[in-house]
Amino acid sequence: LSLESALRRALEREQFSLNYQPKVDMETGQITGVEALLRWNHPDLGSVSPAQFIPLAEETGLIVPIGRWVLNEACAQAMTWQRCGLLPLSMAVNLSPRQFADEHLLQDVDEALAASGMSPVLLQLEVTESMMMRNVGRALKVLDAIQSRGIRLAIDDFGTGYSSMSLMKHFPIDTIKIDRSFVRDLPQDSEDQAIAQAIISMGKALGMTVVAEGVENAEQEAFLRTHGCDEMQGFLIAKPLPAKQMAELLRPME
Ligand code: G
Ligand code: G
Ligand code: MN
Ligand code: NA
Of the residues 15, 54, 127, which should be mutated to test ligand 1's pocket, given the most ligand atoms within 8 Å of the CB?
Answer: 54
**Burial of 162 per CB tally in 10 Å (0-12, 13-18, 19+):** exposed
**Contact call for residues 241 and 20 (beta carbons, < 8 A):** yes
pLDDT digits (tens, 9 = 90+) for 214-249: 999 999 999 999 999 999 999 999 999 999 999 999
- Is residue 172 in some structural domain? yes
Cβ–ligand 1 contact at 50 (below 6 Å): yes
- Is residue 129 in some structural domain? yes
Task: Return d(Cα 10, Cα 50) in angstroms, integer.
Answer: 13
**Contact call for residues 183 and 192 (beta carbons, < 8 A):** yes
Maximum distance among all alpha carbons in the chain? 52
- Is residue 78 in some structural domain? yes
pLDDT digits (tens, 9 = 90+) for 157-203: 999 988 778 888 899 999 999 999 999 999 999 999 999 999 999 99
Range of the domain at 212: 21-36+63-238
**Contact call for residues 182 and 223 (beta carbons, < 8 A):** no
Task: Return d(Cα 59, Cα 61) in angstroms, integer.
Answer: 6
Cβ–ligand 1 contact at 240 (below 6 Å): yes
**Contact call for residues 65 and 71 (beta carbons, < 8 A):** no
ipTM of the complex: 0.97
- Is residue 228 in some structural domain? yes
